[in-house]
Amino acid sequence: MRMRYGWVVVAAGAVITCVAMGAMFALPVYLQPIAEETGWTRAGISGAMTVGFIVMGVAGFGWGTLSDRIGARPVVLMASVLLVAGLVLASRATDLIVFQLAYGGLVGASGGAFFAPIMAATVGWFDRHRSLAVSLVSVGGGVAPMVITPFASLLIETHGWRLAMLSIALGALAVLVPAALFIRRAPTLPEAAPGPAPSTSSPVSSGRSAAAAALRTPQFIVLAATFFLCCAAHSGPIFHTVSYAMICGASALAAASIYSVEGVAGLLGRLVFGITADRLGVRPVLVAGLALQAVGIFVYIYVTDLSGFYLLATILGMAYGGVMPLYAVLARDYFGPRVMGTVLGAATMTSSIGMAFGPVGGGWLYDTFGTYHWLYIASATVGLAAATMALAFPPPRQETEFGPRAQRLA
């Protein structure tokens, strides 16, 4: 029964990540219409995404810690309200600063609640097929570009970007709230033997001590550093490739379809990498995926036609889509469920800071040099650094206060 309801949590998590992340990361298709209507620079508009990534990271740490205490469901419900409020305000903004605060501040703050809490809730339901389960939850992020991005493009062409963003906001609210009600915390496994006498410290202070200790371990440091470099590498190419393709002569709808191809490939990558990681181990699969990501990013400088964009979108989508869920599996291998929200929230914070460099950095490089080639060269270099860092992953902690075995024996 435990495993059976775990798949319900997986399905709900996939729907939530699809709608929430799709609504947040659809900004690339708004980029040119916003610039044309308002006269704002690409770097300025992209700055909203940079603000969003920074805020998402900081908020993600808070959301993750909060989910350890009250569960993922109320966290997701609160974040859904923030997401909708941010999109509504951004759709009405007539000043760039207001747009950046609404999209980057409110939407970004909500984004931190849709990874760490849901992943922490999911891994608690599974002892076997854990890599596949978290990969299926993240499938929502792969489906989002196939659904939300083309839908937003059609709305923009028909009604303009403001009404399109407002419609996406209202639709997200209608989906996220019912789906969040299916997210539940996994039941606690029964103790094998009576535990020791109760500690004089409170459960809250004990939980805080365990979380603080977890964040000081070599395992967490390498996990966070790899996550940071991985996201710093692919955020710029993901955000700016639609604009790059349009500069190369692709129509707006065709360019948006490249984003959709990345989503389809990411969907496949999540499944393939998840199944492979369950069989071969998470660390070697992660290293291979990060190396493939770096190569795919670099080759973009040689692409000018639509077929080439589709091919590289497939490679890059599989690579970054496949590796992203594996960080949650590694965290679960290193740390027990008691601090998973905090650990994943802190790791997400570092990854979001990495993501923040891509959009504004790519916009600055294009505004400065008149080409996106330097963006792809710099991103590929960072991607190779991520693969190198992943080689330093220490073995999982088998017998500590964080590991599941130790927790069952405590």
Classify the phi-psi angles of 93: left when phi > 0, otherwise alpha if psi is within -120 to 50, otherwise beta: beta
**123 assigned to some structural domain:** yes
| Per-residue pLDDT in tens (0 to 9) along the chain, 410 residues | 555 788 888 889 888 988 888 888 888 888 889 988 888 887 788 888 878 878 887 888 888 888 878 888 899 999 999 999 999 999 999 999 999 999 989 998 898 788 778 887 887 777 777 777 877 887 776 677 677 877 888 899 888 899 999 999 999 999 999 999 998 877 765 443 444 444 444 444 445 676 778 788 888 889 899 999 999 999 888 888 888 888 888 887 788 788 778 877 887 888 888 888 888 888 899 999 999 999 999 999 998 888 899 999 999 989 988 888 888 888 877 776 677 778 878 887 888 788 778 877 888 888 888 889 999 999 999 999 999 999 988 766 544 444 444 333 23
Predicted local distance difference test score (pLDDT) of residue 268: 84
Residues 6+ apart with CB under 8 A from 384: 291, 294
**397 assigned to some structural domain:** no
**Residue located via tokens 């951004």:** 90
**385 assigned to some structural domain:** yes
DSSP state letter for 301: G
Segments forming the whole domain that contains residue 327 = 2-186+207-392
What does the block give as tokens for 186?
A: 């996994």
Residues 6+ apart with CB under 8 A from 4: none
Domain with residue 302: its CATH number is: 1.20.1250.20
DSSP state letter for 125: T
Domain count, the chain: 1
Residues 6+ apart with CB under 8 A from 387: 287, 290, 291, 293, 294
3-state SS of 61-125 is HHHHHHHHHHCHHHHHHHHHHHHHHHHHHHHHCCCHHHHHHHHHHHHHHHHCCCCHHHHHHHHCC
Distance CA 197, CA 175 (A): 46
**310 assigned to some structural domain:** yes
Give, rounded to a whole angstrom, the gap between the first and last alpha carbons of the chain.
Answer: 25
CB 105 within 8 A of CB 55: yes
Predicted local distance difference test score (pLDDT) of residue 118: 85
**405 assigned to some structural domain:** no
**262 assigned to some structural domain:** yes
**327 assigned to some structural domain:** yes
Predicted local distance difference test score (pLDDT) of residue 400: 44
Distance CA 222, CA 220 (A): 6
**306 assigned to some structural domain:** yes
Predicted local distance difference test score (pLDDT) of residue 207: 52
Q: Is the Cα torsion angle 376, 268, 220, 111 positive or negative in sign?
A: positive
